[in-house]
Amino acid sequence: MNTAWWRSPGRWRQLALGAGVVLALAGAFELGQLRAGHNALRAGIAERRLGRELERLRQENRQRAASLAKLETDAEVNRQAYAQVERQLAELQDKLIEQQEEMAFYRGIAGVRGSLAIQEFSLRPAAGGSVQLRFVLAQPQPIGREVRGEVQVRVEGMRDGRAASLDLEALAAGAPRRFAFRYFEELTTELRLPAGFEPQRVVIRVVPATAGLKAGVESFPWVVSS
């Protein structure tokens, strides 16, 4: 066997070079595997972190949507409650005004002693150019007995530059003159004024026929309300 070939320096250099190449290739392969695994690990960690962040954002979005829906519901409830309170206040104010008017009416009745009271006098336009006359007669305390009597109405004013007075008979045909009631009675009639007559006031004289009551006279300015 020729051992000189194995012992030659050139052969050993070739073997060393080949071994170095093999080792270098093996090292490069292992390094590539390590880097690939490291990158995969980093990618997995990043993916899990992004997944958690995405879930957190979704949870916050659901919470904010629920809060917004609750605020909208509360706002609608508040609007409905406010509207209901406004309606109730309006109803209470109407009832209060009505009660105040009734109290004023009955205080007027209670304040009269010895003669019948004339309440709620008014003059309003009526059909055909006439004027509606309306007032309420109420008896004084003690309330409960029936009262009877007669009402005399006249309108005073000016005619042809002179003072003039017209009785109810001349202004309204068939106008009510007699009354009979226990608590109060409303009297209404339509007055038709003659041409050239300028009314200034209405004078109402109440003449009771019931014992214990005296006659009374009241004057009201001629003011026709719409």
Q: Which range is least confidently modeled, 22-26, 193-197, 209-213?
A: 22-26
CATH architecture of 112-221: Sandwich (2.60)
Q: Is-contact 125 224, C-beta < 8 A?
A: yes
Residue 179 neighbours by CB distance under 10 Å: 19
- d(Cα 144, Cα 216) in Å, to the nearest integer? 20
Tokens 């309204």 belong to which residue? 172
Q: Provide CB contacts within 8 A for 187, sequence distance 6+.
A: 134, 135, 136, 137, 151, 176, 179
DSSP symbol at 129: G
Query: What does the pLDDT read at residue 199?
Result: 93
Please say if the pLDDT value at position 173 is more than 60. yes
Structure token pair of residue 72: 């909208």
Measured CA distances, 45 to 20, 38, 116 (Å): 37, 11, 103
Q: What percent of the chain has pLDDT over 90?
A: 18
Band of the pLDDT at 105, cuts 50, 70, 90?
low
Check whether 32 has a pLDDT greater than 80: no
Higher-pLDDT residue of 97, 31: 97
Q: Which of 106-110, 159-163, 193-197 has the lowest mean pLDDT?
A: 106-110
Per-residue model confidence (pLDDT) at position 3:
52
Residue 11 clears pLDDT 60, i.e. is over it: no
- Using the structure block, give the residue that is written with the tokens 């206040």: 89
DSSP 195: T
The answer for 36, left when phi > 0, alpha when psi is -120 to 50, beta otherwise, is alpha
The model's pTM is: 0.48
- Distance, CA of 111 to CA of 33 (rounded, Å): 115
Who wins on pLDDT, 162 or 101? 162
Give the mean pLDDT of the chain. Answer: 77
Q: How far apart are CA 183 and CA 141, in angstroms?
A: 10
> In this structure, are strands 147-159 and 197-208 parallel, antiparallel, or unpaired?
antiparallel
Cis status of the peptide bond prior to 142, with omega within 30 of 0? yes
121-149: average pLDDT: 84
Radius of gyration of the chain (CA): 55
Average pLDDT over residues 81-104: 74
Q: What percent of the chain has pLDDT over 70?
A: 69
More confident residue, 137 or 35: 137
Domain boundaries defined on the chain: 1-111, 112-221
